[in-house]
Amino acid sequence: MRVLGIETSCDETGVALYDTQAGLLADTLYSQIAMHAEYGGVVPELASRDHTRKLLPLIQETLASAGLGRDDIDGIAYTAGPGLVGALMVGAATAHGMARALNIPVLGVHHMEGHLLAPMLEEEPPAFPFIALLVSGGHTQLVEVQGLGQYRLLGESVDDAAGEAFDKAAKMLELDYPGGPAVARLAELGDPTRFRFPRPMTDRPGLDFSFSGLKTHTLITANTLRETGELDDQGRADIARAFEDAVVDTLVIKCRRALDQTGLKRLVVAGGVSANVRLRKRLEEETAKRGARAFYPRSRFCTDNGAMIAYVGAQRLLAGERDDSAMKAVPRWPLAELMPPAA
């Protein structure tokens, strides 16, 4: 079964073609980062308009890369949520229109389920069950995964997601958007011994996260250095390093607890922040200590992409799931609401 995947949840337009026998055939991605950088963050109306402008050309490009035509598609999957409602509607409308014209099934899938299963696109995918750390601009969650649609939420952020905290820290340090990569680059130049920031909610039991206090601590430190004239390039780098170390340590501690509590030996790390080099290094060390193993998607599949949507859609379409005639766009959609495919 060949499934076209469409991702338009936020600021990246992703399209991919996945074959359940041959694997990923082609994927293309257009990022709106340059457009939104002028405003220091995503502008929803501009995002929607850009998806409208780019989506159909990307579909044509993806099919051409695979050497196939529209009649070779057996099904279409699109991101139905969570995300920006206008951006979601662009993908939903395009997917439903194409599916009706081609008389093939169409299915709206969960964006975070796509991230969670993105490592399945790799040569050595993880086997079920496993623990998943979903860490992105909008979500920080620990999930126990027993199978497709069999998810138990173990912990999540009670305020800012880790990726969102990175973006806000970047603004405090007067760095360009997107904040995560900018903070990570600057942190490489920082002195790891100058500051030690708090590791939120690690001094109590549980698997929930909180990054708002860390964000406040970062702001206070930056303002203090600004008042004393010490917020120079090195001062910013030292703050970036202390902030990154605090986020990484917090995530690692919670992952360690989740593995210990469940007894599982596989850890999947997905979402935009999973590309962070320091986080990957620390998790590799921690899983090795426990005789466990960490799995990641390749770098280009850490951020939003059509391949992960095509993969999830293919698994669920094969099981007989499909939309009715109504398009689906759900800006807020808890992962825990998902169910396994009907037997």
What pTM was estimated for this model as a whole?
A: 0.95
Show the 3-state SS of 84-116: CHHHHHHHHHHHHHHHHHHCCCEEEEEHHHHHH
Domain ranges (residues) in the chain: 2-117+301-337, 128-296
Say whether 304 counts as a known binding-site residue: yes
- State which H helix or E strand residue 255 sits in: helix 233-262
For residues 27-48, b (16+ Cβ closer than 10 Å) or e, as one string? Answer: bbbbebeeebeeeeebbeebbb
Say whether pLDDT at 343 is over 70. no
Say whether 276 counts as a known binding-site residue: yes
Say whether 232 counts as a known binding-site residue: no
Say whether 160 counts as a known binding-site residue: no
Give me the pLDDT at residue 301, please. Answer: 96
User: Helices 162-172 & 212-227, crossing angle to 10 degrees?
Assistant: 10
Rounded to whole angstroms, what are the CA distances from 342 to 97, 318, 322, 327, 337? 26, 11, 11, 21, 15
- State which H helix or E strand residue 2 sits in: strand 2-7
Strand partners, 30: 13
27 contacts 17 by C-beta, under 8 angstroms: yes
pLDDT band at 178 (very low <50, low <70, confident <90, very high): confident
- At residue 212, the 3 state secondary structure works out as helix
135 contacts 163 by C-beta, under 8 angstroms: yes
Residues with Cβ within 8 Å of residue 179, at least 6 apart in sequence: 166, 167, 168, 169, 170, 171
Say whether 134 counts as a known binding-site residue: yes
* pLDDT (average), residues 145-149: 96
Say whether pLDDT at 300 is over 80. yes
- At residue 19, the 3 state secondary structure works out as strand
Q: What angle do CA 284, 132, 310 make, to 5 degrees?
A: 110
pLDDT digits over 73-98, tens only?
A: 999 999 999 999 999 999 999 999 99
172 contacts 199 by C-beta, under 8 angstroms: no
Class of CATH domain 2-117+301-337: alpha beta
pLDDT digits over 217-269, tens only?
A: 999 999 999 999 999 999 999 999 999 999 999 999 999 999 999 999 999 99
Class of CATH domain 128-296: alpha beta
Say whether 111 counts as a known binding-site residue: yes
DSSP state of 342: P
Instruction: Match 């952020």 to its residue by tokens.
Output: 157
Say whether 223 counts as a known binding-site residue: no
Give me the pLDDT at residue 9, please. Answer: 97
Give me the pLDDT at residue 40, please. Answer: 85
Measure the CA–CA gap between 331 and 318, rounded to whole angstroms.
26
Give me the pLDDT at residue 342, please. Answer: 78
- State which H helix or E strand residue 51 sits in: helix 44-66
Q: Is the dihedral of CA 301, 303, 307, 312 positive or negative?
A: positive
The rounded mean pLDDT for the chain is: 96
